[in-house]
Structure 1
Amino acid sequence: MLYTSQDGVTSIKETFQNAADRFMDQLPDITIGILIIIVGILVAGWIGRFARRKISANTKDPLMSKFLGTAIKFTVIIITIMLALKAAGLGGIATGILTAAGASAVVLGFAFKDIGENFIAGIILAFNRPFDVDDTVEIGPNFGKVKTLDLRYTKLKTFDGKDVYIPNSDVLTEPVTNYTEDGFFRWDFIIGIAYEDNIEGAKETVLKALEKEPNVINDALHENFVIEDELATSTVNLKVFFWVDTKDFRKTALITKGNVVRNVKEALEDAGFYMPADIQEIKLYGGVKEFPLSFRKQKDQQKNTN
């Protein structure tokens, strides 16, 4: 057995024995602390879900309710851990954690600057944001439907099936284009008619064709119209503007646009309007005066008559 010098210092064996005795004395308190943590985590989960349901019922806002519910849950868990340390007789550790957290706040602030920015931006977005769940938005180069707002990121589902996680700080600083906030979006396309056609008659025909599509909206605030856009090489180009319901943006809106283009094209043809293709000009160089043309169909008919 190893002993220290004879100055009264206890042996290594006695040191371990004293530590074991202290642990056994504190074991009931440590057990209580562990139970407090287990119960606290369960209670925190219940409180988070309860808060989420209540907030969602009052605000009808699933993004805010999920964000605040998660924040409340983690807050309760942190408080539970501090109480458990106090109950286990480890209040000094709890105090040390708080002191260390305060002393290292500056260091952690630099080390986790991006995380802090995203968290604070998430809080701001929870209360004041330019979109709701299932809105179709464009955030920077990302385009899709909003699916969730978390503590650190906003999740978009693109229309080609990708899941994009955008940091909340980027959402807060990037321009956000919301295509479905008020439920309306204006499409436009160009159609060309012949120079000899009546322009006003063509415009009236186009407007009547728009009325045949049920998803096209036309009221005092959302007026459909047709204007002369360009005198092109072989056509007078008309630009058609019309409004659609965009709550189911992308698929329904694109199908509606396709239906409108088809209806306008068929209506103009039925009304006798001609939509010519571009005219191609052939130039002859090198002193060539004539351009020989031959029509195979006519030659074949002549051979058959002979």
Structure 2
Amino acid sequence: MWLQNTAAPVALTPVKQPPVLDPVSTATATMHIWWNSAIRALPSIVAALIFLFLAYWAARGVAVLVRRLAMRRDRHDLGTIIGSIVFGALMIFAVMIAAVIVFPSVKPGDILSALGVGSVAAGFAFKDILQNLFAGVLLLINRPFRRGDQIVVKDYEGTVEHIQSRATLIKTYDGRRVIIPNADIYTSPVTVNNAFAIRRTQLDLGIGYNDDLGNAARFIVEAIRKVEGVIDDPAPEAIPIEFRDGDVLVRARWWTDSTQSKVVHIRAKVVEAILQAFRTGGIDLPFPTQIVLLHDQTGKNEGDRAEQRLRGFDQAADGKDDAETRPPK
């Protein structure tokens, strides 16, 4: 059986082409829409600006309060950094609230989500800056050294001027300023020269083998005690350390105030006092001495070192005598 399609034919309606818009009219209409939106949002914008103005002065007041509290506890640099961080955090929070006031459809959760994604990107972009910032905060909280301390960091030595959010400023003893990133200081060994009230200084001296070592040590201690600025307790001392070529190493040690200028000037006075005591007591400070042994190159006395030394000295003496008796040309 054949099936016959009895459906009525569908009439096709022609598609109308969209009207061609005038660019000038379109731009004008869009500008009108924006203008109307701005006029409607003008009260909200004014309210947001007033809120930001008030929030700015409030945040500034909180930052000043934080700095003053830190100054009362003798933590000027920590108060400066914490105050700046508090001011920045409050202003960011104020901007978020202002955005909600101007755009009511914006939710605080959306802003926080955007800030979370942005903070990750910013963390990678400003890794070194944030690392120095956190290191500076930890240095100021733990206080391994303070402003005015004399420290040694790597190849730099001087007095701490400021501990900023990014770097620590050191004034060297010759009047130069060194800026060291906080992360380098936090991860490097730091020597604080004036961490304690007194500091020990030492000086190595060479005493000849023909001199009385006990008398030399006594002269050293007595000379150091007479120097102004040397502390009596702990007492100065002179300790024989080792035998060297041509002399015996004696190490003189004494204690002074830990300030670098006093350490340097007292050391100079100690050197002068010891030298004068040695001259008065007849103690020799020998010069470096070398002994040259002439080796027998003929091989006749190979292995007999005593014979080689004897022949070497004899040949040297004979050569000297020949040179003295040889008539001049």
- What's the TM-score, normalizing by structure 1? 0.78
Counterpart AA for 1:267: A
Read off the aligned partner of 2:274 and give its amino acid letter: V
Does 2:159 correspond to 1:149?
A: no
Name the counterpart of 2:255: 243
Corresponding residue for residue 264 of structure 1 = 274
Following the alignment from structure 1 to structure 2, what is the Cα–Cα distance between the partners of residues 81 and 143? 44
Query: How far off is 1:179 after superposition?
Result: 1.6
1:225 aligns with 2:237: yes
Higher RCO (Cα < 8 Å, 6 or more apart): 1
CA contact (8 A) 1:67 1:149 kept: no
Q: 1:111 to 1:23 in 2, by over 3 A?
A: same
Distance 2:52 2:232 in 1: 60
Q: Note the C-alpha offset of 1:115.
A: 2.8
* Structure-2 separation of matches of 1:32 and 1:212: 78
- Name the CA distance, whole Å, in 1 between partners of 2:277 and 2:61: 61
Partner of 1:45: 60
SS at match of 1:137: strand
The amino acid that maps onto 1:252 is: K
Q: 1:143 to 1:15 in 2, by over 3 A?
A: same
In the TM superposition, 1:101-250 aligns within 5 A as 101-219=115-233, 222-246=234-258, 248-249=259-260
What letter matches 1:265 in structure 2? L
Tell me by how many angstroms 1:280 deviates.
4.4
Unaligned runs of 5+ in 1: 295-306
Amino acid at match of 1:197: D
Q: CA offsets, 1:53-106, max 9 Å, x none?
A: 221212x23332332222223223323333333444467286554221113443
Per the normalisation by structure 2, the TM-score is 0.73
| Partner Cα separation in structure 1 for residue 129 and residue 92 of structure 2 | 18
Query: Partners in 2 of 1:223 and 1:63 — Cα distance?
Result: 39
Q: Give the SS at the match of 1:273.
A: coil
**Alpha carbons of structure 1 residues 162 and 5: separation in structure 2 relative to 1, 3 Å:** farther
Q: Which amino acid aligns with 1:27?
A: L
For residues 157-196 of structure 1, the C-alpha deviation after alignment (integer angstroms, 9 at most, x for no partner) is: 3334443333333222222222221133322111223333
Which structure has the larger Rg?
2
> Distance between the aligned counterparts of 2:141 and 2:235, measured in 1?
34
Q: Unaligned 5+ residue runs, structure 2?
A: 1-17, 297-314, 325-329
Structure 1 residue 132, shift from structure 2 partner: 1.0
> CA, structure 1 residues 170+276, in 2 after alignment: closer, same or farther (shift >3 Å)?
closer
Q: Is the 8 A contact 2:203 2:251 kept in 1?
A: yes
Structure 2 SS opposite 1:291: helix
Alpha-carbon spacing, 1:214–1:86, altered in 2? closer, same or farther (3 Å): farther
1:16 matched to 2:56: no
In structure 1, the residue matched to 2:306 is none
**1:217 positional shift:** 2.5
How large is the RMSD of aligned CA atoms in angstroms? 3.2
- Whichever residue aligns with residue 47 of structure 1, its letter is V
Mapped partners of 2:44, 2:236: distance in 1: 75
Q: CA deviation at 1:218?
A: 3.6
Shift of 1:43: 4.0
1:155 partner SS:
strand
User: What's the counterpart of residue 63 of structure 1?
Assistant: 77
Percent sequence identity is 25
Q: Give the Å deviation of 1:239.
A: 0.7
How many angstroms does 1:283 deviate by?
5.8
Choose 166-175 or 255-264, whichever is displaced more: 166-175
1:228 CA drift (Å): 0.7
The aligned length equals 284
| Structure 1 segment 276-291 matched on structure 2, within 5 A | 276-281=286-291, 287-288=315-316, 289-291=318-320
Amino acid at match of 1:232: R
CA distance in 1, matches of 2:232, 2:75: 30
